[in-house]
């Protein structure tokens, strides 16, 4: 597992270095993203690209919140945007499995999806847990780098350190940060937001108006 993580990290680093040297655009495309994402990046490179930020830890714990987030993401895509959803890469599941195994006192983790089934020692998962966390952060920042904007979908009363970190990173790297948020705003949340909307319709109305203005010029 350690070798796989190192190999993947090196592949991304080397490929990005080659792209930078040749002044070519570089993308990470999660395998679980729809095929339309690759099509648009290849054949319609002018398509607006958005990184979708949301309180992931709280969202994935509730099926209704997941459906709500997915519906919002799909609406963005329906509006003609490429959307990078960080949960499309599921490395974080390993940490969930590890915590569950520890809680149950198990020494082996079993995982299955479709026709694939694997088992591995809990010690192997423990050895790479920090690497997984580090790669999640670095990869999400790369997804922000390859986007034109960050769209924050925030529908919980608690503040998420991850969301605020992504907003800060994007804002300081000259990305527009549009937030759908209804609740008590902290000064930091407002500072790192380009614009805050009370509901989804207000955001989509603004994006449509902005796109119309751009096409008119």
Q: State pTM to two decimals.
A: 0.90
Q: What is the pLDDT of residue 153?
A: 95
DSSP string computed for 90-113: -THHHHHHHHHHHHHT-SEEEEEE
User: What structural domains and CATH numbers belong to the chain?
Assistant: 2-88+129-216 (3.40.50.450)
Q: What is the mean pLDDT of the chain?
A: 91
- Pull the structure tokens for residue 108: 């082996």
Task: Give 9-60 pLDDT, tens digit per residue.
Answer: 999 999 999 999 999 999 999 988 999 999 999 999 999 999 999 998 777 7
Quick check: helix, strand or coil at residue 159?
Answer: coil
pLDDT confidence band for 215 (50 / 70 / 90): low
Average of per-residue pLDDT across 116-141: 92
pLDDT at residue 216 greater than cutoff 70: no
Q: For residue 170, what is the enclosing H or E element?
A: helix 161-172
Of residues 61 and 106, more confidence is placed in 106
Q: 1 with 119: CB under 8 angstroms?
A: no
């Amino acid at each position: 597992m350690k070798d796989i993580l190192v190999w993947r990290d090196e592949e991304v680093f080397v490929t990005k270095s080659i792209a930078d040297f040749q002044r070519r655009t570089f993308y990470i495309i999660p395998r679980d993203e729809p095929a339309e994402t690759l099509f648009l990046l290849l054949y319609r490179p002018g398509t607006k690209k958005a990184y979708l930020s949301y309180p992931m830890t709280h969202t994935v714990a509730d099926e209704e919140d997941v459906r709500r987030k997915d519906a919002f993401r799909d609406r963005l895509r329906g509006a003609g945007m490429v959307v990078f959803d960080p949960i499309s890469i599921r490395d974080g599941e390993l940490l969930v499995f590890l915590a569950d195994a520890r809680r149950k006192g198990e020494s082996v983790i079993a995982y299955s999806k479709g026709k694939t089934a694997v088992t591995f020692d809990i010690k192997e998962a423990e050895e790479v847990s920090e690497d997984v966390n580090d790669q999640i952060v670095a990869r999400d920042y790369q997804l922000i780098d390859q986007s034109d904007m960050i769209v924050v979908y925030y529908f919980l009363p608690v503040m998420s350190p991850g969301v605020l970190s992504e907003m800060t990173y994007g804002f300081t790297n000259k990305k527009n940060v549009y937030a759908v948020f209804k609740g008590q705003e902290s000064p930091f949340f407002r500072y790192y937001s380009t614009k805050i909307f009370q509901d989804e319709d207000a955001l989509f109305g603004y994006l449509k108006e902005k796109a119309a203005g751009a096409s008119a010029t």
